[in-house]
Structure 1
C-alpha cells in the first residue's frame, strides 16, 4: 500500500484543489506553481508511486490519463496548436510527489530542452 500523499488528500477532498476534470479513474487540477498559461496535473485515483511501479495491471489506468489529456486539450481549445504532457520519475527526474501524475502544459510555444540541467557537467 502506498503512503498517503498530498494527491490522495486532494482525491479524498481533505485539502482543496482547483479541479478541472474528474471521473471514476482520474482527477485533473490546476498546478499551484504553473509553468504555462494552462498547467494541470492529471492523476490516477489509484495510487502508484513512480513510473517504476507501473505494472501490466496499470496499463488501462495509465492510458486513461492520456485520454483525459486529449479530452482537456479539445475542451480548452488548444488541441490543434499543441501542448506538452510530462511524467517525472524519482528525484533526478524531478518527481516531488510520489503518486504518478501527468503535467499538462499549454497556452504557449514550448521549447526544447524544457529547462537547463541543475548540475553542470
Structure 2
C-alpha cells in the first residue's frame, strides 16, 4: 500500500503501469472516513493506493522500494518507459542489468507522481 495526495492522478498512473503488467481495473473503495482507495489485483497479489486516513499529506517512505516482477529485460525497460510517460520520474540510473552477489538482475527504478519508489525487476532463471 502506498499513499497519494491525488487519487485520480494516481489511478491514471497505476492503471497504465499495472495494466501493462496484466492487472485489471482496480477495485475502488471509499473507507468509512470517506478516503478513497484503489486495490489492484494480479496473480494472487494485491497492491493498494490510498488517500491517507489520518488526513495528513501522503509522503514517500524513505528507504522503501516496491518491486514489480517483469517477464523479460525488455519488459523492465517498458515498465520504466510507461511509468515516465504517465507522470513518473526515472531514478537510480538507467534501466538495465546489474550484477551482485546473487547474479545478474535487470532493474528499472522510477518514482510515482507522489514520490513512491518502484522497481521493475527481472531475474533470469
More helix by share: 1
**Structure with higher strand content:** 2
